[in-house]
Amino acid sequence: MITPRELQISVSLHGINQVSCVVLNPQPDCRYAFYVLQNGKQIAKYPYQDAAELVYWTAEEGNYSFRVFVKENETEDKISKTSPEVKIQMDNGFYSSVERKKTFWDIFTNIGNMFSEIVTHWDRMIRISWYDYKVLNKDAYLGSIWNILNPLIQIATFWFVFGIGLKSGNDVDGYPFIVWLLCGMIPWFYVNACIVQGADAIRSKGISVLKMRYPIATMPLEAVLVCLYSHLVMIAILILTLLFFGVFPNWHWLNLLYYLVYGIVHYTALTTITSVLTMIALDVKKLITALIRMLFYLTPIVWSITRMPEKWHFILKLNPILYYVDGFRDSLLYQQDFFMCPGKVIFFWGINLFLIIVGANLQAKYKNRFLDME
C-alpha cells in the first residue's frame, strides 16, 4: 500500500457541467471511495468501487475538491488524501473551470510526482521493457538476432567505406581503424535508438493503454531500457573484439559504468520531453528522425575530431552525444577517467537537470489531455 504522499490525484472539468477526479497511479487489488467537497464542505459521498475515477455533475458555482479513500481488498488497510481544488463558475449558462493559480513550487512537485511514479511502478516497468525487447523482430525467422545483426552490417559498411576506401585502413592514434570505429559506432547505435524510439514512447503504447491509466512517467525510461538491453550485448561484442586485437582490460574500463548511468539518465530525460511533444504533434517525430541523420555526420564518430580546425573543437565538445561516444573511447582506448574533467561532468549533468525539470513539467501539463486524445 502506498502512502498518502505518493497518491497522485487529478481534478479537472470533464465535459459540460462535470468535474472529473482521477487517481493517476491506481494500485492493484484496491477499491476507491470518493467524497465530493464544495468550498470545503462535504456535499456527496460515493461508496467503494473498483474504478479509480469519478465524474460528478456540478449544480452550482464554487471550489470543488475530492476526498479520495483507497482500501486494499485483502488487508482492509486504507489511506485517504484530498485533491487540489478546481474553481467552477457560470459562463454563458454553463459551468466552466478556472485554472488553479500555479506557484513556483509546482515545478518541484511535478518532478517529485514523476520520480514517485517511476519508483512505484519500477518492477512493472522492468518486466514490460524486457518483454518489449524480446518481441522485437519476433515475426522474422532470425528473431532477436536481428538486434545484433543490423548494427554489425552497418559497422561493416562504414569500415569498408571509411577504413578501406577513404582511409586505406590507416590506424587512428595507434589503434586499428576497426577498433577505433567500433568504440564510436556502438555507443552511437544506442544513442540513435534512444532518441528515435524514445520520441515515440508514449504514442507507441496506444490510446487504449493511456485510457487504462498506464503510468506515463515510466514510458520514456521503458523505451531507454529496451535500447539498453541491445546495447549491453553490443558492448560484450566490443570487448571481445578489443581482446582479439590485443587491447586488454584495465581499471579505466570501469568508467563505462559511469557513462552507462549518464546515458540512461540523459536519454530518459530527453525522451520525456520529445515523447510529450510527439503526442502533441507527430511532426516532431519526423523532425527528430531527420535531424538524427544529420547529427551522425556532424559528430566525430566515423571521423576524428583532429581533422577539424582547433577553433571548432570546443563547440563540438559541447554536444552530449559526443560526450557519451568519447566516453567509450576515453575509457577503452585512451585510459582517461571521467573525473579528470570536472567541468565537463558539471556541465553535462547540468543539462540533465534542466531536461528533467522541463520534461517533468511537460508531462504534468499534458498528462490529462492525453487521456482525451483519440
Q: What is the pLDDT of residues 65-110, one digit of tens each?
A: 899 999 988 888 888 888 888 877 755 544 444 445 566 778 888 8
Dihedrals phi, psi of 18, to nearest 5 degrees: -125, 140
Examine the domain organization and report whether 64 and 187 are in the same domain.
no
Kindly state the DSSP code that residue 99 receives in the 8-state scheme: P
Strand partners, 38: 41, 64
Which of 63, 57, 66, 67 lies closest to 97 in space, CA to CA? 63
Examine the domain organization and report whether 88 and 174 are in the same domain.
no
**End-to-end Cα spacing for the chain:** 33
Contact 224, 268 (CB under 8 A): yes
Examine the domain organization and report whether 79 and 134 are in the same domain.
no
Contact 24, 8 (CB under 8 A): yes
Give the type of residue at 291: L
Q: Give the integer Cα–Cα distance in Å for 366 and 7.
A: 19
Higher model confidence: residue 142 or residue 327?
Answer: 327
Contact 256, 228 (CB under 8 A): no
User: Which of 77, 101, 125 lies at the terminal end of a domain, its last residue?
Assistant: 101
pLDDT tens digits for range 194-247 = 999 999 998 887 654 555 557 788 999 999 999 999 899 889 989 988 998 899
| Residue 151 neighbours by CB distance under 10 Å | 22
Q: How confident is the model at residue 193 (pLDDT cuts 50, 70, 90)?
A: very high
Kindly state the DSSP code that residue 127 receives in the 8-state scheme: H
Q: If you search the block for the grid coordinates 459540460, which residue do you land on?
A: 16
Residue 57 has pLDDT above 60, yes or no: yes
> Rg for the chain (alpha carbons), in Å?
25
Would you call 142 helix, strand, or coil by DSSP? coil
Q: Is residue 55 part of a domain?
A: yes
Q: Is residue 95 part of a domain?
A: yes
Copy the grid coordinates of residue 245.
586485437
Examine the domain organization and report whether 73 and 194 are in the same domain.
no
Q: Is residue 251 part of a domain?
A: yes
Which of 122, 147, 177, 202 lies closest to 362 in space, CA to CA? 202
Examine the domain organization and report whether 191 and 85 are in the same domain.
no
Statement: the pTM of the whole predicted model exceeds 0.85:
no
Examine the domain organization and report whether 87 and 125 are in the same domain.
no
- As for how many domains the chain has, the answer is 2
Q: Give the integer Cα–Cα distance in Å for 221 and 224.
A: 5
What percent of the chain shows pLDDT beyond 70?
Answer: 86
What length is written for the chain? 374
Examine the domain organization and report whether 161 and 228 are in the same domain.
yes
What lies within 8 Å, CB to CB, of 287 at 6+ separation is none
User: Which of 76, 101, 126 lies at the terminal end of a domain, its last residue?
Assistant: 101
Q: Give the integer Cα–Cα distance in Å for 267 and 127.
A: 20
Q: Give the integer Cα–Cα distance in Å for 68 and 36.
A: 9
User: Which of 78, 101, 124 lies at the terminal end of a domain, its last residue?
Assistant: 101
Q: Give the integer Cα–Cα distance in Å for 301 and 266.
A: 19
Examine the domain organization and report whether 229 and 118 are in the same domain.
yes
Range of the domain at 51: 9-101
Copy the grid coordinates of residue 61.
458555482
pLDDT tens digits for range 30-46 = 999 999 988 878 899 99
Q: Give the integer Cα–Cα distance in Å for 32 and 46.
A: 9
